[in-house]
Amino acid sequence: MNDRNLARGLFLIAIALTFGLMSLRYPMGDFSRAGPGLFPLIVSCLLFMIGVFTVIRSRFSERVHIEFNWKNIAIILASLCGFALISHYVNMIAGIIFMVFCASFAGTASYSLARNLKIAAGLIAVGFAFQKLLGFNLPLY
Amino acid sequence: MEVLHNLALGFEVALTWQNLMYCAIGCTVGTLVGLLPGLGPLATISILLPLTYSIPTSGALIMLAGIYYGAQYGDSVSAITMKIPHASSIVACIDGYQMTLKGQTGLALFTAGVSSFIGGSVAIVVLTFFAPMLGEVAYLFGPADYCALMLLGFVCVSFVTTGSLLNGMAMCLIGVLLGQIGTDVNSGAPRFTMNLDFLLDGVGLVSIALGCFGIAEITKNLDNKDERTPFNGKINLIPTWPEFKRIIPSALRGSVIGSFLGILPGGGPVIAQFAAYAVDKKVSKYRHEIGSGAIEGVAGQAAADEAAARTSFIPLMSIGIPENAVMALMMAAFIIKGIQPGPNMIAGHPDLFWGLVASMWVGNVFLITLNVPLVRYWLSVFKIPYAVLFPSILFFCCVGTYSVNSNLNDIFVTAGFGFIGYLFLRLDLDAAPLMLGFILGPMLEENGRRALLLSRGSFEVFFTRPISGSLLGLIMIFILWQLVSFLREAKKSRARLEATTQ
């Protein structure tokens, strides 16, 4: 299974099936009066065909190893979601501080409290500049 | 005469001090962000898009265009000095970096700057005369023709950006499907919204752009763990007269090639650079030096790059169909500012159109007077460690997403697309065609449905109308050519395999 070409084909098939099966629930109409489900169904079918072709082709081409580093993407996504949640329930300044401290775990450099505080302070200043100078509606406090 | 009058109107708009300032800020910030590793024009524009929300329309468009060509110049600077390839500056890495190795960094940067100026100026002349003309042609287009043109755009973009028609088409189709999320305009039925209210208006383009280009790129850079060494060499910008004389012919050749290739569907800076470089290698007086750090190797491609970047605005502004991913993003920016690009744009908003055209030239002057001399200072952004940069880029992504609708939920959508974008990266799928599919998907559906409604469900209309018939014919020829070359390649590799086993 550890083959990028095969994984790509299966991924495309999965997307095509998700959209295609969902579009079956909407009215189809006919070609002269197309319903909301017809166009997405056609596009999903095309994507499905490309996916199947990719899977078939992967049997004849050389295997390419696929690598995932789940740690970094998980940390980045957690810091984004944390930023949104904390900004919603507390305020954006707390959100910025959380994001900087959480995201820094993904960095290659050693974890530094002082550096993170400086980055957070800088970004809060940028946030205020956006709010006051450019008129952004940021819930900073 | 009319053209001169129009241009005068354009310069009147572009030379107000506010617009001059927006243009200068756009060029400078675009260059700075474009310099950063992994951030090409697409990512740069999507990260900086929110800066333009609170600016008046003409200023915002001028600033965005400035960001675009600023980012492109920034790209070529990082390619020349440090051989960091971006999608838009692959060719600059070849001779530009060779010149740096020979200690001619200043000359290479100067050549790129001056050639961009020449390319941009030629393209503006083409834009001035050609855009209104093409706008007239656009009135001949019916719904079926628009469909065929969009499909041709998909095929060309898929092939040009990814090199693999199959992968590119898959991404275009995924983009089209993502564009279906939301309320169907014809029947009012919600589609693929999963009963989430905030999806009724569809997925925001900014969320997709920032997710797939901003967040996915950051994660890729973090995975690669490569710390870059900043450029510390000497930069001597002033060339000698014989060196300067070598720039001109190559830059002019590149400008013409770039201007032409920029207009075609799927065209744009990337393909123009390669074409100009190939032509220079064939016809230049110094062709034997190209590849080992020749001025011509930098000048031609830089001019073509800039010229194509400008002329690719022509299909967007005169027909209303973006021909590559950057233009799709530009179109979204136009729509956010309440302007619908298309044949009516030139007549309906002459001040905006001609102001933008004139500002491109002003932007060129800024690039050459501000950015080229100051480039050694710009390069100091590389001294900022990535550990400091990436939380800041993340913050800009968040603010960018949030400020479209002042809605924190959009950040979750961006995070979701960041994950999907990361999967795309790992599966070797290029996200650029997805953007084009996303923007054009709803238009494709609307025009397709209208064409079929008018023809009472018959597909004949797509083949009998001269414009759509010829465009579809082109697509068929292209697909056949791809199929034949694929089969030939398969045959060759089988023969090779047999030869090795024997």
Residues of A in contact with B409 (CB under 8 A): 84
Residues A128 and A80 in one domain: yes
User: How many contacts does A have with B, using Cβ atoms within 8 A?
Assistant: 178
Share of chain B above pLDDT 70, in %: 94
pLDDT at residue B132 in the model: 79
Residues A83 and A111 in one domain: yes
What's the average model confidence in pLDDT over B266-288? 78
Nearest chain B alpha carbon to A124: B395
**DSSP letters of chain A?**
---HHHHHHHHHHHHHHHHHHHHTTS--B-STTB-TTHHHHHHHHHHHHHHHHHHHHHHHS--------HHHHHHHHHHHHHHHHHHHHS-HHHHHHHHHHHHGGGSSSPP-HHHHHHHHHHHHHHHHHHHHHS-------
Residues A100 and A128 in one domain: yes
Do A128 and A75 share a structural domain?
yes
pLDDT at A137: 79
**Which of A1, A80, A119 to mutate: most B Cβ within 10 Å?**
A80
Question: DSSP character for B213?
Answer: I
A40, part of any domain: yes
Tell me the percentage of chain B whose pLDDT exceeds 90. 7
pLDDT for position B267: 67
The rounded mean pLDDT for chain B is: 83
- Domain boundary residue among A60, A78, A104? A60
> Are residue A48 and residue A82 in the same domain, yes or no?
no
Is the Cβ of A111 closer than 8 Å to some Cβ of chain B? Answer: no
Query: Reduced to 3 states, what is the DSSP secondary structure of residue B487?
Result: helix
Give me the mean pLDDT over the B212-237 stretch.
74
Scanning B188-240, the segments in alpha helix (DSSP H) are 205-209, 216-224
Most confidently modeled range among A73-82, B6-15, B319-328, B384-393:
A73-82
pLDDT at A13: 95
Contact A81 B426 (CB under 8 A): no
B191: helix, strand or coil: strand
Is residue A20 assigned to a domain? yes
Per-residue pLDDT at A16: 95
Does residue B265 have a pLDDT over 60? Answer: yes
Q: Which of B316, B331, B265, B320 is nearest to B141 (CA)?
A: B320
pLDDT digits 0-9 by tens, B487-500: 887 788 778 778 87
CB B59 within 8 A of CB B90: no
A9 and A49 assigned to the same domain: yes
Evaluate whether residue A139 is within a structural domain: no
Q: Mutate which of A18, A62, A69, A73 to disrupt the B interface (most B C-beta within 10 Å)?
A: A73
Least confident of B82-96, B353-367, B396-410, B449-463: B82-96
Task: Identify the residue among A13, A17, A43, A136 best suited for mutation to test binding to B, counting B beta carbons within 10 A and taking the highest.
Answer: A43
The pLDDT of residue B87: 60
- Residue pLDDT, tens place only, B108-123: 888 888 888 899 889 8
pLDDT in tens, B9-61: 888 888 889 889 999 888 888 888 877 766 777 878 888 887 787 788 888 88
Higher pLDDT, B444 or B78: B444
Look at A43 and B50 and tell me if their CB atoms are within 8 Å. no
Same domain for A74 and A129?
Answer: yes
Q: Report if residue A8 sits inside a domain.
A: yes
- The residue segments making up the domain with residue A77 are 70-133
Q: Residues A53, A84: one domain?
A: no
- CB distance B266 to B157 below 8 Å: yes
In a domain? residue A16: yes
What value does the mean pLDDT take over residues B365-370? 83
Chain B residue closest to A111 (CA)? B387
pLDDT of residue B184 exceeding 80: yes
- Shortest CA gap A83–chain B (Å): 8
Contacts with B, A 30-89, CB within 8 Å: 30-37, 39-40, 43-44, 46-47, 50-51, 53-54, 57, 60, 64, 66-69, 72-73, 76-77, 79-81, 83-84, 87-88
Q: Which residue has the higher pLDDT, B378 or B365?
A: B365
Asked whether residue A11 falls in the same domain as residue A51, the answer is yes
Specify whether A127 is located in the same domain as A78.
Answer: yes
| pLDDT of B449 higher than 70 | yes
Buried b (16+ CB within 10 A) or exposed e, B308-330: bbbbbbbbbbbbbbbbbbbbbbb
Residue closest to A34 by CA, chosen among A48, A49, A23, A47: A23
**Segment A30-78, tens digit of pLDDT:** 888 888 889 999 999 999 999 998 898 888 777 888 877 888 899 999 9
Confidence of residue B86 (pLDDT cuts 50, 70, 90): low
B90-101 vs B269-283: helix crossing angle, rounded to 10 = 50
Question: Which of A3-17, B127-141, B227-241 is the most confident on average?
Answer: A3-17
Pair (A79, A125) in one structural domain: yes
Tell me which of B104-108, B125-129, B228-232, B254-258 is least confident: B228-232
A37 found inside a domain: yes
Per-residue confidence (pLDDT) for residue B315, from 0 to 100: 85
Beta bridge partners of B182: B191
Average pLDDT for residues B65-71, to the nearest whole number? 86
Q: Mark which of A60, A79, A106 sits at the end of a domain.
A: A60
Strand, helix or coil at B142? coil
What is the model's pLDDT at position A89?
92
Does some domain include residue A140? Answer: no
Residue B284 has a pLDDT of 78
Mutate to test the interface with A, among B173, B411, B491 (most CBs of A within 10 A): B173
Alpha-carbon distance of A97 to A90, in angstroms, equals: 12
Q: Which residues of B touch A67 (CB under 8 A)?
A: 426
Q: Number of structural domains, chain A?
A: 2
B182's enclosing H/E stretch is strand B182-183
Q: Which residues in chain B touch residue A32, judged by CB atoms under 8 angstroms apart?
A: 452-453, 455-457
In a domain, A111, yes or no: yes
Touching check for A137 and chain B: CB below 8 Å?
yes
How many whole angstroms separate alpha carbon B419 and alpha carbon B399?
Answer: 18
Give CA–CA dist B33/A32, Å, rounded.
49
Confidence of residue B155 (pLDDT cuts 50, 70, 90): confident
Asked whether B364 and B121 are in contact (CB, 8 A), the reply is yes
Kindly identify which residue of chain B lies nearest to residue A61, measuring between CA atoms: B490
